[in-house]
Amino acid sequence: MLRRLFAALALTALLGTAAAQAQDDYPSNVITIVVPFSAGGPTDTVTRLVAESMSRTLGQQINVENVGGAGGTLGAGQVAKANADGYTLLLHHIGMATSATLYRSLPYDPRTAFAPIGLVTEVPMTIVARGDFPPKDMSELLAYVKENKDTVTYANAGIGAASHLCGMLLMSAIDTQLTTVPYKGTGPAMTDLLGGQVDFMCDQTTNTTEQIKAGKIKVYAVTTEKRLDILPDTPTGMESGLDKLQVGVWHGLYAPAGTPEAIINKLSEALKTALADPTVMERFAELGTAPVPADQATPAALQAKVTSEIDRWAPIIKEAGVFAD
C-alpha cells in the first residue's frame, strides 16, 4: 500500500518536472498562428508581420495557417479545441466580441475559451468601391445604393467579420438592405472588387490603402473620428452625416484556455518586442495603423477588451436584428 503511494507520488513529481521542463524549453517546436480569414487580407497581413518578428525573438519558426469561414468563427473554434501547449495560437479581430452576439450558438465561449496574450493593433476602416462605380462621394453613394438596392452588391467576410459589422452599421443608417456577397476573408473580396465582380465594401486600411493610392479602387469615407494622415482627402463617416459609422478593428493574440501562464508570458513579451520592432512599426504606418502601446500588449488588457467589446456591441447588434443562426 505504502509502496503504491510512493510510486504514485514519484510519478506525479516526475510529470510535474516534465511539464516545468516543457515550459522552460518553450518553444521547442514550430508554432502555428491561425488566422480565421483568407490569406492576403488585412488580418493575415497584420499576423504575418507580427509573426515574423516574434519568430526572431523566440528563436522558433512560426507558421501562419488561414482557416477562413463563418465570419472568423471556424478558425476561432479550431483554436478553442487545440492543445493548450502554446503551439497553436489565434490572431483574431473585433469579431471575437461581435460574434458572441451575432451567433446565438457558438461552439466556444469567447469570454472563457481562450487565454489572451495581448492586443496587437487597432485598424481604421474605409468604405471603398470598384474603380468604375458611379457615385463620386459619400452622399452620392448613399443615394445610389438606396436607389439601386436590388442590384448593388456589398462584399463582406461573413457574419461576424468586421466588414459585416461595418456594412450592418451602414445599412441600418440608411435603412436599406443590400445583397451581400460573403467571402472567407477580404483578401479574395478585394480581388473581386478590383475585377469589378462586386460593387463595394468596408475594409481595413491594411487591405485598402495601397489600392486606393494606386487609384485602382474608389474611397468614400474612413470610419474614424478624425481624418487619417495617410488618406487626408478622405472624409470621415461623421463628415458625411453618418455619425454612427465609427469602428476600429482591434486585433488580439490568443492561446487556448489552460495554456500555462509561463508560456503566455513568454509570448506576451515576444509580442511586445514585435510591436516595438521598427520594421513592423514602419509597415503598420504605411498601412494606416499603429501598434498598441506596450501596456496593451498584455493578457489583462486583451481580456478586458474582449469583455467590454462584447458588452458594447451586444445592444447595437440586437437593435439591428441581425443574427447568423
Binding site for ligand ASP (CB under 6 A): 37-38, 41-44, 93, 95, 156-157, 161-163, 185-187, 203-204
Q: How far is the CB of 249 from ligand ASP (least distance, A)?
A: 7
- Residue whose cell numbers read 503566455: 264
Cell numbers describing residue 59: 528563436
Nearer to ligand ASP, 289 or 298 (CB): 289
Q: Rounded distance, CA 34 to CA 297, Å?
A: 18
Cell numbers describing residue 144: 445610389
Q: Rounded distance, CA 318 to CA 159, Å?
A: 14
Q: How far is the CB of 44 from ligand ASP (least distance, A)?
A: 6
Q: Rounded distance, CA 61 to CA 56, Å?
A: 8
Nearer to ligand ASP, 49 or 58 (CB): 49
Nearer to ligand ASP, 66 or 268 (CB): 66
Q: How far is CA 122 from CA 195, 252, 323, in A?
A: 28, 9, 25
Nearer to ligand ASP, 40 or 235 (CB): 40
Nearer to ligand ASP, 85 or 199 (CB): 199
Q: How far is the CB of 223 from ligand ASP (least distance, A)?
A: 12
Q: How far is the CB of 245 from ligand ASP (least distance, A)?
A: 15
**Which residue's Cβ has the minimum distance to ligand ASP?**
41
DSSP string across 274-319: HHT-HHHHHHHHHTT-EEPPGGGSSHHHHHHHHHHHHHHHHHHHHH
Nearer to ligand ASP, 152 or 155 (CB): 155
CB atoms within 10 A of CB 243: 12
Q: How far is the CB of 72 from ligand ASP (least distance, A)?
A: 7
Going 220 to 225 to 231 to 232, the CA torsion angle's sign is positive
Q: How far is the CB of 136 from ligand ASP (least distance, A)?
A: 25
CB atoms within 10 A of CB 325: 9
Region of residue 252 (left: phi > 0; alpha: psi -120 to 50; beta: else):
beta
Q: How far is the CB of 179 from ligand ASP (least distance, A)?
A: 17
CA nearest 211: which of 194, 231, 189, 233? 194
Q: How far is the CB of 218 from ligand ASP (least distance, A)?
A: 18
Burial classification of residue 239, based on how many CB atoms lie within 10 Å of its CB (0-12 exposed, 13-18 middle, 19 or more buried): middle
Nearer to ligand ASP, 78 or 156 (CB): 156
Q: How far is the CB of 95 from ligand ASP (least distance, A)?
A: 6
Nearer to ligand ASP, 94 or 280 (CB): 94
CA nearest 40: which of 200, 204, 198? 204
Q: What is the dihedral of CA 32, 187, 208, 253, to 10 degrees?
A: -20
- Residue whose cell numbers read 515550459: 23
Q: Rounded distance, CA 260 to CA 81, Å?
A: 16
Nearer to ligand ASP, 202 or 263 (CB): 202
